[in-house]
């Protein structure tokens, strides 16, 4: 395990995207551990067990959606940084996520490369 570093949880139901994010993030020297979940309930269990410092969160998930998980995070774990991920980067979704308290909103189709910089910026602040 790399240490010191930030713990990152990726919540994404598309296996290809999940695998790619895991590969990219796990290589960052500022990351201690990377955890993955494909749905709401699995994500809640990992958040409670591992206490990540940053959660990458897809809006569309099985069970409940990522916006509901964002609401849970901001209510019970407000210190965890959140990066919303979506292929439907409409202004409505972006404004809703910002209102709830998302720290970043990333369009997976055009802003994917920004993710590593966001993670590295949080490690510098800790």
Q: How many helices (H) and strands (E) does the chain have?
A: 5, 5
Q: Tell me the pTM.
A: 0.92
d(CA 46, CA 38): 11
- The pLDDT of residue 104: 95
Each residue of 1-54: pLDDT tens digit? 444 799 999 999 999 999 999 999 999 999 999 999 999 999 999 999 999 999
Each residue of 64-100: pLDDT tens digit? 999 999 999 999 999 999 999 988 778 899 999 999 9
- The pLDDT of residue 51: 93
- Beta carbons within 8 Å of 113's beta carbon, 6+ residues apart: none
Answer for the pair 31, 10: CB distance below 8 angstroms, yes or no: no
Among candidates 51, 70, 66, which has minimal Cα distance to 108? 66
């Amino acid at each position: 395990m790399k240490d010191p570093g930030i713990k990152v949880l990726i919540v994404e139901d598309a296996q290809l995207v999940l695998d790619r994010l895991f590969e990219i993030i796990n290589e960052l020297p500022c990351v201690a551990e990377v955890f993955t979940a494909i749905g709401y309930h699995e994500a809640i269990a990992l958040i409670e067990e591992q206490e990540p410092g940053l959660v990458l969160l897809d809006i569309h998930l099985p069970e409940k959606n990522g916006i509901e998980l964002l609401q849970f995070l901001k209510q019970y774990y407000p210190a965890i940084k959140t990066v919303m991920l979506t292929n439907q980067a409409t202004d409505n979704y972006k404004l809703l996520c910002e209102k709830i308290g998302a720290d970043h909103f990333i369009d997976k189709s055009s802003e994917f490369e920004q993710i590593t910089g966001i993670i590295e910026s949080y490690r510098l602040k800790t």
